[in-house]
Amino acid sequence: MLHRRTVLLSLAALAACTESKPQFKAVDITGVDYARDFQLPDQNGKVRTLKDFAGKVVVVFFGYTQCPDVCPTTLAEIAQAKKLLGPDGDKVQGIFITVDPERDTPEILKAYMANFDPNFIALRGNLEQTAAVAKDFKVYYKKVEGKTPGSYTMDHSAASFVYDPQGRLRLYTRFGSGPQALADDIKLLIQQQA
């Protein structure tokens, strides 16, 4: 009887330890020492930092508007995840950082963001600012020349960075994870705040 009781107490203690850490579908990168902030103008010219979105789960994605597949798919998934959250979707901020500031003008970025969610924000720095923020986020991007000067493409990392409502980087979401997985992870981050 004593042995059985000890085993049950051990299992209960183990379960309590397991429950304290959320089981994210994305890669949990809590505590990393990079991608702590950004300081770039948005599509309306207002300089934005992570602090502007305190109290929200922030999903940051790097890409470019002429991207044929990865970028529109990712932004659509972020928008769909917001919808899946119902009223909690208001606690989510999608942020797109362009790696192609030469072609992605503020006007183009405004129109592009409107295709996904009216509250999504696009950030656009100059070439030096873009390089610096990409380096800070450990994001790869490279211009790939096309047949004509304006027909180039951009190779780039295809993942999103998810911050909790306190502004801490928590998750690295791989491309193609799907809106439900993202919504589930965002829900866990919102619940942790409560």
Which domains occur in the chain, in start order?
Answer: 23-193 (3.40.30.10)
- What residues have CB less than 8 Å from 85, skipping those under 6 apart? 91, 92, 183, 186, 187, 190
Could you tell me the pTM of the whole model?
0.87
pLDDT of residue 52: 97
156 is in an annotated binding site: yes
| Regions of the chain short of the pLDDT cut 70 | 1-20, 194
71 is in an annotated binding site: yes
Helices 70-84 & 179-193 angle (0-180, nearest 10): 50
Task: Return the ∠ at Cα 130 (arms to 125 and 133), rounded to 5°.
Answer: 110
67 is in an annotated binding site: yes
